[in-house]
Amino acid sequence: MSIDKNAQLFERARQVIPGGVNSPVRAFNAVGGTPAFIARAQGAHLFDANDKQYVDYIGSWGPMILGHGHPQVLSAVQAALLEGFSFGAPTEREIALSEAILALMPSMDMVRLVSSGTEAGMSAIRLARGYTGRNKILKFNGCYHGHADALLVKAGSGLATFGASSSAGVPEHVVQDTIVLEYNDIEQLEEAFAKYEGQIACVIMEPIAGNMNFVRASTAFTRRISELTKEHGALLIYDEVMTGFRVALGSAQSLYAQQIPGFQPDITVLGKVIGGGMPMAAFGARREIMEKLSPLGPVYQAGTLSGNPIATACGLQTLALISQPGFHEALHAKTGQLMAGLKAEADAAGVPFSVDHQGGLFGFFLLPELPSHYEAVMKSDKPLFNKFFHGMLSRGHYFAPALYEAGFVSSAHTDADIQATIEAAREVFKTL
What are the Cα distances from residue 144, in Å, to 117, 150, 206, 279, 398? 10, 12, 8, 18, 22
Q: How far does Cα 340 stand from its chain's mean position?
A: 23
Quote the CA–CA distance of 93 and 187 in Å, as a whole number: 46
Q: Is 136 a catalytic residue?
A: no
396, burial (CB in 10 Å: exposed 0-12, middle 13-18, buried 19+): middle
Helix residue spans in 114-217 (DSSP H): 117-132, 186-195
Q: Which residues pair with 215 in a beta bridge?
A: 209
Question: Running DSSP on this structure, what letter comes out for residue 149?
Answer: G
Give me the sign of the Cα torsion angle 104, 106, 107, 110: positive
User: Which H or E element spans position 225?
Assistant: helix 219-232
Quote the CA–CA distance of 36 and 5 in Å, as a whole number: 9
Q: Is 272 a catalytic residue?
A: yes
Q: How far does Cα 163 stand from its chain's mean position?
A: 23
CB 122 within 8 A of CB 146: yes
Please list, in sequence order, all residues whose beta carbon lies within 8 angstroms of the beta carbon of residue 85, skipping any fewer than 6 positions away.
Answer: 309, 310
Q: Report the number of secondary-structure helices (H) and strands (E) in the chain.
A: 13, 18
- Give the other-Cβ count within 10 Å of 135's Cβ: 13
3-state DSSP assignment of residue 234: coil
Of these residues, 239, 292, 404, 417, which one is catalytic? Answer: 239
Q: How far does Cα 392 stand from its chain's mean position?
A: 23
- Give the other-Cβ count within 10 Å of 353's Cβ: 22
Of these residues, 54, 57, 131, 144, which one is catalytic? Answer: 144
Q: Is 131 a catalytic residue?
A: no
E-assigned strand segments in 262-331: 267-270, 281-285
Of these residues, 48, 238, 256, 272, which one is catalytic? Answer: 272
Quote the CA–CA distance of 140 and 150 in Å, as a whole number: 13
3-state DSSP assignment of residue 165: strand
CB 257 within 8 A of CB 236: no
Helix residue spans in 276-396 (DSSP H): 287-290, 309-322, 327-349, 374-377, 382-394
- Catalytic residue numbers read 144, 239, 272
